[in-house]
Structure 1
Amino acid sequence: MASAPSAPVDIPPFQVQPLISNVLYGPDASDAAAFTVEVKCVQALGSEIYAGCSNGDLLRFALQANGPNQPGSYALVSRKTLPTGKPVDEIVLTPCISRAFVLSDRQIFFYAIPSLEPVPGIKPIRNVMCFAVDHRHIVRPSLPMDSPAPVLPVDLCVVKRTGIGLYSLREQLIYHKDIPLPGGAFLARRIGHCLCIADREQYSLIYLDAVTATPILPISQAPPEPGARPHRPMIVVVAEEEFLILSWTGAGTMGVFINVHGDPVRGTLQWPNHPLSICFEYPHVTALLPDQTIQVHDIESQEIAQVLPPPPPPSLNETSPSVLMGAERQGVGYEF
């Protein structure tokens, strides 16, 4: 998340185009099964992109210069395969300590960035339902090499079926304590001592210092349709003490801004369908809808700033630079 300026900036003319084609294998790959591998999650850090795949591969791409009159393109510079061989569910990057937290098969693995080498001496955390790194530590900048200041640890919560484990990571992983949470959660985001979680039915705020929970909003406000899949909960940190949570109303999806005390702030966002994914870069919330349309909202006015049509099918050899990672489908990323 970028720091908020004193006044919102005008939205630039966003465009959608292929970002990386053939993320996993080139067009000459002989193994047809290779093309069934999908990109499951993506994180960007500066000009680099980290992608997690359905076969357990962890990929790092870097922007390469192609010449003075040609745009740069992304190239695969390293690949690691997780011991699980299972889909990579989530990647969280913490540049302040040069670490990547990778969730796969209910285990959190720890890798160094940018090398993607496993961090020695740290075993994976097992039986994980979801986890949340303190957002204030995610956006904390790295210290200069000659800085005399000590490197501060990064705090994280690990949600299991019966409780929340509190940890911190620097050179080593330090366990602090467990907090009871019967039933666990499927999604969590953290700001300081406040943890916003989603279980099967609702969003709640967990106060880690007081060990109290406050229900906030149901994930769906309408009765489930027969045979329909449950609507996916989504939580995004949009400010120093503010979350955005999404709730299906039966006629569309509503985005509600709440602070760490559970109070509604700003207005609300509206979508005609439940988004497949959302991302935030101040002051814009960008949502990918089921028909592949992309809607961009301004969080200050809560109005739609731009609507982008579905991206064209990418050619096999098409690549282009990007500033923001958005949708991931069938091993091809798109920028918007």
Structure 2
Amino acid sequence: MPLTAFKQAHIYERQAAPKEKHKSIIQCLECYDRNVYMGTRDSLVQHLILSSSMNGELDAGLRKTREGRVRKLGSSNPVTQLRAVPVFNHLLVLWDRCVSALNMFSLEPIPALKKIQHVSSFEVCKSSLTAQSQAACVEMVTSSSRRKVIQIHMVGVDRWEAVREVSLPQDPVALAVDGASICVATSDRYLLCNSKSGNSVELCPHNHSRQNALVTSAGEGEFLLNGPGSLGMFVMKTGICQRPPLQWPEELLAAGVCFPYILTLQPQVLSVYSMLDQKLKQTVSLSGARGLLSTSVFTERDIISLSLVPLEEQIQALVRHDRVEEALLLLDGVQSHLPLDSYKELHKAITCLAGFIQFYQEAFSEARDLFIKGELDPKEIIRLYPGMASCLDEAFQSQPVQVRKARDLHELWQEDRSIFLHYLDFLGDFLRAIRGTEQGMKSSKEVDCALLRLYAEQGDTDNLEQLVASPNACRLDLCVPVLQQHKRFFALGSLYQSHRMQANAIKTWMKITDGQLDDPSCSDVYEHIVRTLSQLEDRDAVWTFADWTLQRNQEVPVHISYSQFNCRGQSCTMQQYGINIKTEYQGEKYVQTEVESNIGAIRGKLRQLLWDSVYYDISTVYERVKSTALHTERAILLGRAGEYSQALQVLVHQERDPCAAEAFCCRASQGQGTQLRLTLLLTLLNIYLSSEDLTSAAVDLLNRNPHVFAPQTVLQLLPGSWSLQLVSQFLVGALRETSHQRRMGRLQRALAQADSICFFLCVCKKDFTELQFVCNLRGELIHTSCSGYTAS
């Protein structure tokens, strides 16, 4: 189907007496708002008035035209060119190689504006017409019929004058103006001239006859030329081409631009090409066409208006005929000519339509990407699937997209299950891709409900568990029956839990464990219940289900009791809990012993974890244990945070375990060097020395580490009341260590000297008897006598 880019309307037909038909032929045309001006072969200027206007162009929907005044310029010679200057109410007329000025409405001559003679063609600079409504003057360019020049004139309300002229290598044939840039066609080439500097640049040659050398303005800063080889060439005022050339018909009468289209006129047809892809979009049949002005075509006696179909309508027409890529190309090309909101909405709609076309062709990957790019409401996809309508809100109003060769998925589900399964896979893939994004969040309930139903029906246990175990927007009134229907009871419990219905979740899992509900998709439900209870902060809920857990297994619930009670620093509650359960299940002594044994092992693992792991947040864990009786664990966390002094204070004064404090110094400095260990032990010593009750602990610390502490440092710290006998053991050990280190140092130096001597002897193979040495060519040290060198 060809694109209808323009609509045509016949707006005027010139009547003439049979004897004057050859004289009354329309020769040229000019339009402004409701005013149309015709120039005829018999020297007439005719004013026509349309009933209304649309954006300054002829309205194709209007056919009524009223004839206005007529001006006879002479007895012969055609009117070859008309241009309106509405800012001054001037109508400029080229007749008999002279430019004259008439009033636009009375068609009376303006006496102050004398004729400009010897003109072959002229143009008014449109930018000067539109730049300021109150312009003092506008610019006009004329080409001389006698000289190889073009002249620049300034036109005012009651005067005009030539202000500059530009010399040319050949006679000018046609011209177009854009500001200071003038594109001129001569007899065999195109030139680009600057009206201010007078410079000209050759663009390209042409091989057309005089009447077919075409040049016209193609928009701001751009010209359209009829180039060599019948190529329509776009040339910027800088002299470069930014668009590919257009291959158009030979022997054109005229060409023009109405963005985003190029119009080319031949005697029997007007062709419409796209500036975006250079393809032919529309043809309009004519008879005896003579000229083209913007979007108005005239024959010898008729005027036909072409009005551009609104771009939105063109795009929608392409979409309706599945020409989606062409529609997107047109939309992107005219983006600057559309309101931003309209462009965005159209782009989304077309992108989504392209997605539906791919969807029904089973190109699912492409369809998913287009739906995401077009921000498709996921409800529009969900509604297509049988059984999924219940996931949608009753207030949802679908806006279905009409796509040719669309499939009914309800029929496909009954007729071809294998293909329908591919469509189901697409649904899951698409909904997962948008879940959590802005596109999916707008329909989060529908997305999550549809995914849950899809997973349950397909038996996709992993994805189902991941969905219900994480925060979700599933509607319980819709999703609970689905899980019950498909016997996904473990997932049902997880759904309750994700919606903070802990009691419902645990009760559901208990029924699975007790055999009241059958769910073959899960295992170890009992241990899952225990883990859940161990993490609950609702103490009452824990007590509610504690008895049931102990009836199933008397050992596993110890983890619940430890995490729920002891870790909160309530050792008395832990003991009471053990006493309560013993009366119903075991002897008191056995239970308490077993609990204490388990607690010791668990705390040992906890301490190791706190020392070694880098995958937990220290401050968060510290906040949980700082008010508990887990003093050693608290000290470890303080040490991991670099608060060594505070950690040692906890171990000394709260845990009251000197051995643990000293072990902390060793563990904290492990791999950090001896200096940190010495610093920590000195800190611990200072803590001991600050309290008279800890004197024995200080002495023991010194006696166990004489090789670490420096005697002079320790003596400065010790109180003056201490006796020499109290620290004698430390001093003896420290002095022995000092002597040992000195002796070892001397021994190492002696060994080093011996190695050096052996090195020299190995090179010379002689005894060491001289004090002077030299270096040979290999860089080795030898005796001077061995080298043969004699000092002068």
Look up the match of 1:90. Answer: 81
Identity %: 19
Q: SS of the counterpart of 1:186?
A: strand
Look up the match of 2:275. Answer: 299
Contact residue 103 and residue 109 of structure 1 kept, 8 A:
yes
The structural deviation recorded for 1:20 is: 1.1
Look up the match of 1:318. Answer: none
Look up the match of 1:112. Answer: 103
Q: SS of the counterpart of 2:212?
A: coil
Q: SS of the counterpart of 1:123?
A: coil
Question: Which of 19, 38, 60 pairs up with 2:11?
Answer: 19
Distance 1:71 1:18, change over 3 A: closer
Q: Aligned AA for 1:166?
A: I
Question: Which of 12, 15, 24 pairs up with 1:37?
Answer: 24
Contact residue 17 and residue 311 of structure 1 kept, 8 A:
no
Question: 1:102 and 1:258 mapped to 2: Cα distance?
Answer: 29
Question: Which of 247, 264, 267 pairs up with 2:227?
Answer: 247
The structural deviation recorded for 1:335 is: 2.5
Distance 1:202 1:312, change over 3 A: closer
The structural deviation recorded for 1:45 is: 1.1
Q: 1:282 and 2:262 equivalent?
A: no
TM-score, structure 2 normalization: 0.35
Q: Which has the higher strand share?
A: 1
Where structure 1 has 5 or more consecutive residues not aligned to the other structure, the ranges are: 1-10, 144-149, 314-322
Distance 1:170 1:123, change over 3 A: same
Look up the match of 1:122. Answer: 113
The structural deviation recorded for 1:72 is: 4.1
Contact residue 175 and residue 215 of structure 2 kept, 8 A:
yes
The structural deviation recorded for 1:199 is: 0.9
Between 273-282 and 303-312, report the one with greater CA deviation: 303-312
Q: SS of the counterpart of 1:267?
A: coil
Q: 1:330 and 2:318 equivalent?
A: no
The structural deviation recorded for 1:17 is: 4.4
Contact residue 258 and residue 295 of structure 2 kept, 8 A:
no
Contact residue 219 and residue 231 of structure 1 kept, 8 A:
no
Distance 1:231 1:42, change over 3 A: closer
String of CA shifts for 1:54-81, please: whole Å, max 9, x gaps: 111011111138xxxx954112111111
Look up the match of 1:102. Answer: 93
Q: SS of the counterpart of 1:32?
A: helix
Look up the match of 1:3. Answer: none
Contact residue 4 and residue 282 of structure 2 kept, 8 A:
no
Contact residue 325 and residue 333 of structure 1 kept, 8 A:
no
Q: SS of the counterpart of 2:20?
A: helix
TM-score, structure 1 normalization: 0.78
Q: Aligned AA for 1:335?
A: S
What is the alpha-carbon root mean square deviation over aligned residues? 2.6
Distance 1:167 1:289, change over 3 A: same
Contact residue 15 and residue 308 of structure 1 kept, 8 A:
no
Q: Aligned AA for 1:18?
A: H
Look up the match of 1:166. Answer: 152
- Structure 1 or 2, whichever has the larger Rg, is 2
The structural deviation recorded for 1:248 is: 4.4
Q: 1:58 and 2:58 equivalent?
A: no
The structural deviation recorded for 1:48 is: 2.0
Question: Which of 198, 202, 205 pairs up with 2:185?
Answer: 198
The structural deviation recorded for 1:265 is: 1.5
Question: 2:288 and 2:162 mapped to 1: Cα distance?
Answer: 48
Contact residue 28 and residue 40 of structure 2 kept, 8 A:
yes
Q: Aligned AA for 1:153?
A: C
- Number of equivalenced pairs: 290
Contact residue 82 and residue 92 of structure 2 kept, 8 A:
yes
Contact residue 276 and residue 289 of structure 1 kept, 8 A:
yes
Question: 1:324 and 1:243 mapped to 2: Cα distance?
Answer: 14
String of CA shifts for 1:201-228, please: whole Å, max 9, x gaps: 11111112221111112222xxx8xxxx
Q: Aligned AA for 2:161?
A: I
The structural deviation recorded for 1:284 is: 2.0
Look up the match of 1:153. Answer: 137
Distance 1:297 1:188, change over 3 A: same
Contact residue 234 and residue 245 of structure 2 kept, 8 A:
yes
Look up the match of 1:7. Answer: none
Distance 1:71 1:180, change over 3 A: closer
Contact residue 84 and residue 105 of structure 1 kept, 8 A:
no
Contact residue 77 and residue 96 of structure 2 kept, 8 A:
yes
Answer 1 or 2: higher relative contact order, Cα 8 Å, separation at least 6.
Answer: 1
Contact residue 129 and residue 184 of structure 1 kept, 8 A:
no
Q: SS of the counterpart of 1:265?
A: coil
Contact residue 36 and residue 330 of structure 1 kept, 8 A:
no
Look up the match of 1:147. Answer: none
Contact residue 157 and residue 164 of structure 1 kept, 8 A:
yes
Question: Which of 221, 237, 241 pairs up with 1:264?
Answer: 241
Q: SS of the counterpart of 2:48?
A: strand
Between 125-134 and 271-280, report the one with greater CA deviation: 271-280
Question: 2:227 and 2:194 mapped to 1: Cα distance?
Answer: 22
Distance 1:335 1:307, change over 3 A: same
Q: 1:185 and 2:172 equivalent?
A: yes
Q: Aligned AA for 2:12?
A: I
